[in-house]
Amino acid sequence: LTTGPTLFGLPMKQASLLTLTFQNSALILILHYSRVMRPPGDHRYFASTAVLLNEVLKLAISLTFAIYDASRSLAPQTPATVLFEQLFHSVFSGDSWKLAIPAVLYTFENTLQYVALGNLEVVHFQVLSQLKILTTALFMVLLLGRSLGIRRWLSLIFLTLGISIVTLSSSSNSRNLSFEIFDLSDHFFPRSVHELGQIADDTVVPAPGDLSSPLTRRSATYEGILEDQELVPRMNYSLGVTAVLVAAIVSGLTGVYFEKLLKEPTKTVSIWTRNVQLAFYSLFPALIVGVIITDGKEISKHGFFDGYNWVVWTAIVLQAVGGLLTSLCINYADNIAKNFATSISIVIGFIASVGVFGFLFGTALVITSTYAYALPERKRSRPPPIHIAT
Ligand code: C5P
């Protein structure tokens, strides 16, 4: 029998982890595609506007749940003004200001994610962002005082390795996937990237790296063509790598800080109130630093929604839903379990590549490390200290 809230008939802990597993793979692909596709107008959309809209959406959803929660605790005839007064009080009183810290850090992380996915292949982004498994564990030990035994540390290291092996061994598949999505652009843009592919097949432009496989050669020639025509934004790998590494550190720190606030034993602030506070405070850095200071000049020239199409909107909605799922995972399970869920999502994403040795080996590592981590810690019974009579 399960008490407590449920989702899809499952207890919240399992349901939120499972849903996050599927949401995460979709988000990475769509977000990458939205950054590297040929923009529908003259310009690619501004990442700062997407980060702001993501927060607005999360605020709206969280407020809806918070209002629903508050209304359930009041008598049916209570006037709406009392309900809103109570809600206002719970959102802005007490230690609500503490949420300003994760708000700034998460907004920074979300911006870095756009920079990283606009400058790296999906596969490289996924491998490098696995480092957040280790940064999260480190901050859990430092900030939450959790102690992880040697078996759990080893499980996390093997999890990081396993995911990297799965991702790299399936890298050609992931390229295929993003190329297939690229080809979809035929339906939406008159001069499509697919058309460029036709030209690229006949034009061999020398490029560093392995040009032996047709796919790599084709992507190399893509770069050559793109350099000339400047149709699709070019990638800057070192910027992408820096962005993803900093994002991994920020992710570990912020996730653990948010968990600390949620699980303080003396506080009984609900998860939806915390989410309203977090989204509210995130509006300020997203609007002031992102939209006004960083992109303000360009936005006033081209417009807030310049470069938007259905792909961009899908990425924003997926990111908002993913953020709220993340908060549920942190609340009902913890940050490490949340990272396991996103790691498993990578394995699911590459399940199509069965037959590749690396894939099988990597998957075995992920499963074994998940199992090993989940085993309860054994309490060591130490023999009592021996007193030496003096
Ligand atoms: O990569 P990581 O798991 O740290 O990503 C966390 C994501 O979840 C960020 O996009 C962050 O904005 C979002 N989040 C949220 N609400 C929370 C906690 C995290 O939207 N309460």
pLDDT reading at 211 higher than 50: no
What pLDDT shows up at residue 186? 37
pLDDT reading at 326 higher than 60: yes
Mean pLDDT, range 213-221, rounded to an integer: 41
Query: How many structural domains is the chain composed of?
Result: 2
Alpha helices in the chain (DSSP H): 12-36, 47-72, 80-92, 100-119, 122-129, 131-144, 150-169, 171-184, 193-202, 214-229, 237-262, 271-284, 296-302, 310-332, 335-349, 357-374
* pLDDT band per the 50, 70, 90 thresholds, residue 219: very low
Owning domain of residue 219? 194-230
pLDDT reading at 215 higher than 70: no
pLDDT reading at 357 higher than 70: no
For ligand 1, whether the C-beta of 251 sits within 6 Å is yes
Lowest mean pLDDT among 14-18, 102-106, 178-182, 344-348: 178-182
Lowest mean pLDDT among 79-88, 172-181, 196-205, 347-356: 196-205
Question: Are 110 and 184 found together in one domain?
Answer: yes
What pLDDT shows up at residue 358? 61
In a domain, 390, yes or no: no
In a domain, 381, yes or no: no
* CB 105 within 8 Å of CB 250: yes
Domain boundary among 230, 250, 279: 230
Question: Are 220 and 74 found together in one domain?
Answer: no
Question: Are 154 and 22 found together in one domain?
Answer: yes
What pLDDT shows up at residue 346? 74
CA distance 317 to 307: 16
Domain boundary among 179, 210, 230: 230
Which ligand 1 atom is at minimum distance from the Cα of 252? 4
In a domain, 182, yes or no: yes
- Looking up tokens 């609900």 gives 270
Residue 272 CA to ligand 1 centre (angstroms): 14
CA distance 29 to 182: 11
CA distance 5 to 11: 6
In a domain, 384, yes or no: no
What pLDDT shows up at residue 182? 40
Residue 112 CA to ligand 1 centre (angstroms): 13
Question: Are 81 and 161 found together in one domain?
Answer: yes
- Token pair, residue 279, equals 């989204």
In a domain, 21, yes or no: yes
* DSSP code of residue 15: H
In a domain, 132, yes or no: yes
What pLDDT shows up at residue 350? 65
Mean pLDDT, range 130-158, rounded to an integer: 92
Question: Are 270 and 289 found together in one domain?
Answer: yes
Q: Which residue has the higher pLDDT, 271 or 166?
A: 271
For ligand 1, whether the C-beta of 222 sits within 6 Å is no
Which ligand 1 atom is at minimum distance from the Cα of 338? 3
Chain centre to alpha carbon of residue 119: 16
Lowest mean pLDDT among 79-88, 176-185, 267-276: 176-185
Tens digits of per-residue pLDDT, 234-293? 788 899 999 999 999 999 999 999 999 998 877 678 899 999 999 999 999 999 999 999
What pLDDT shows up at residue 388? 57
pLDDT reading at 314 higher than 80: yes
* CB 144 within 8 Å of CB 256: yes
What pLDDT shows up at residue 217? 38
In a domain, 341, yes or no: yes
- Looking up tokens 């802990």 gives 13
Which ligand 1 atom is at minimum distance from the Cα of 251? 4
What pLDDT shows up at residue 359? 63
CA nearest ligand 1 atom 13, residue? 323
* pLDDT band per the 50, 70, 90 thresholds, residue 165: confident
Question: Are 167 and 255 found together in one domain?
Answer: yes
Q: If you average pLDDT over each of 3-17, 104-118, 173-187, 208-222, which comes out highest?
A: 104-118
Question: Are 328 and 370 found together in one domain?
Answer: yes
Question: Are 63 and 179 found together in one domain?
Answer: yes
The CA-atom distances, in angstroms, between 99 and each of 10, 106, 107, 284 are 29, 11, 12, 12
* pLDDT band per the 50, 70, 90 thresholds, residue 178: very low
In a domain, 345, yes or no: yes
Average pLDDT of the residues of the chain:
78
Question: Are 222 and 142 found together in one domain?
Answer: no
What pLDDT shows up at residue 189? 36
Question: Are 210 and 264 found together in one domain?
Answer: no
* pLDDT band per the 50, 70, 90 thresholds, residue 45: very high
Which ligand 1 atom is at minimum distance from the Cα of 110? 10
For ligand 1, whether the C-beta of 272 sits within 6 Å is no
CA angle 139, 114, 158 (to 5 degrees): 40
Mean pLDDT, range 58-74, rounded to an integer: 91
Q: If you average pLDDT over each of 61-65, 126-130, 163-167, which comes out highest?
A: 61-65
Question: Are 218 and 245 found together in one domain?
Answer: no
What pLDDT shows up at residue 36? 81
Question: Are 260 and 350 found together in one domain?
Answer: yes
CA angle 374, 380, 383 (to 5 degrees): 175
